[in-house]
């Protein structure tokens, strides 16, 4: 069911609308409490897709109706590496953007063939000069948030991510962000797969598979009850 929610276009749009509603409500609450700045955002995996496409939709709104955000941290990102951050930033929808990507992320490369308008930016970085690409060598899809794995200093991966990269990114002036360590931009521009392999055909293949698996699972769960059909029918007949 998670797969269906991700690959079906109408479900993605529904999630995107719900995200915008929640973010708008949270921003109103913050302003009511006296916090007037734009909120920073940390997004992971499918959340990066939702947030990125929300920003693209904001560009289509009247300027007065747009949501605006502060600095953005992306991890396990599945947005296209050629995502137009320049337009988003020039419209003042976000400030600075950090893309923290793991070189051993096995989930991100699958996005381009399963979800429309996605790509492996969380495995190789964004093209251009609009995003700070930070490379985490040997890290998997969610390792940056791990509290079970530790680095050579004994810090959890999450603590290391925050102390070494995310806190400086969120607090330093923009002109000093270039000092962040482990920056690594792509050496070549990204090239998309052919049209049928860009998440275009996958939903039509995935939905029948999910329905088949669901039916088999239901049959396996309810099969033991079939043996009780005769006693249950007899009991119903007696009570009637």
Q: Which residue has the tokens 């995107």?
A: 16
pLDDT for 101-126, tens place per residue?
Answer: 999 999 999 999 989 999 999 999 99
Write down the pTM of the prediction: 0.83
For the record, the structure tokens of 79 come out as 């947005």
Q: Which long-range contacts (CB under 8 A, 24 or more apart) does 202-205 make?
A: 202/7, 202/113, 202/114, 202/115, 203/7, 203/8, 203/9
For the record, the structure tokens of 47 come out as 């959340």
pLDDT, residue 36, reads 86
- 3-state SS of 53-92 is HHHHHHCCCCHHHCCCCCCEEEECCCCCCCCCHHHHHHCC
Position 2 confidence tier, pLDDT thresholds 50, 70, 90: very low
Residue with the larger pLDDT of the pair 5 and 15: 15
Residue with the larger pLDDT of the pair 235 and 117: 117
Q: Phi first, then psi: what are they for 5, rounded to 5°? A: -65, -30
Considering only CA atoms, give the Rg of the chain. Answer: 23
């Amino acid at each position: 069911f998670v797969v269906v929610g991700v690959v079906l276009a109408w479900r993605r749009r529904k999630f995107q609308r719900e995200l915008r509603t929640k973010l708008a409500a949270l921003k109103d609450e913050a302003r009511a409490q006296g916090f007037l700045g734009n909120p920073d955002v940390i997004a992971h995996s499918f959340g990066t897709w939702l947030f990125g496409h929300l920003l693209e939709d904001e560009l289509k709104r009247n300027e007065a109706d747009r949501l605006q955000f502060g600095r953005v941290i992306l991890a396990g990102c599945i947005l296209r590496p050629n995502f137009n951050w320049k337009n988003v930033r020039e419209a003042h929808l976000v400030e600075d953007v950090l893309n923290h990507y793991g070189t051993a992320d096995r989930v991100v490369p699958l996005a381009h063939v399963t979800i429309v308008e996605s790509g492996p930016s969380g495995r190789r970085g964004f093209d251009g000069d609009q995003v700070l690409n930070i490379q985490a060598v040997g890290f998997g899809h969610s390792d940056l948030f791990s509290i079970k794995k530790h680095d050579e200093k004994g810090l959890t991966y999450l603590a290391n991510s925050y102390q070494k990269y995310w806190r400086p990114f969120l607090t330093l002036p923009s002109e000093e962000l270039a000092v962040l360590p482990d920056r690594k931009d792509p050496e070549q521009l990204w090239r998309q797969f052919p049209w049928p392999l860009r998440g275009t055909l996958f939903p039509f293949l995935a939905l029948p598979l999910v329905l088949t698996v669901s039916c088999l699972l239901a049959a396996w769960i309810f099969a033991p009850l079939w043996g009780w059909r005769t006693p249950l029918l007899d009991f119903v007949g007696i009570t009637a």
